[in-house]
Structure 1
């Protein structure tokens, strides 16, 4: 998997990538740098035509399926990623090289808006 340097609060305002999710031992890494999100996912053993990417209303859906007829096995992968900023969906690009999928999602605006949820209790 492509590993990026871990940032801390000491390096947040420097010209370094900002990690969005600390995926630890996960099969993916998501970070933001220079006006775009970059998502890398380890998908070894799949062919390019076995991987499907779909953008739908702020959510990236990644699905892959590989059938090994010789061994009677089926390998599947499915994840959904929601982004905290508006993405220029017509400028999203993706590449699959050496078992690693890299998706670049340029941002097109400020953080998405939500509404505050009141918290009850003491």
Structure 2
């Protein structure tokens, strides 16, 4: 029995920039000679802070929760992911009773984050989903 343990799936994503038709990854700090992908991604996430993207066909949501300042050549973003489209009872283990009935439109939001270093040709992001 896995008492007190939760099972989650972790989906890892990589970020690379390539010229059209080329397999060679360009440096993230100046992929076109002057534009920093790090700053561009930072500004994109920062501008969407508090907003979300809904994938209705999969009943999933991605929320841009926060973005840390760029520190030297890296930044970390805090995103949240969730699934909706089903109901469930939330059970209070202290009261030994149902505390809340989750609605079809509600999603439990789980952390999702990533880090991009500007001096490399690849960035990493990970999303967590309940299995």
TM-score range for the pair, normalised by the shorter chain length: 0.3 to 0.5
User: TM-score, with normalisation over the residues of structure 2?
Assistant: 0.32
Q: Larger Cα Rg: Structure 1 or Structure 2?
A: 2
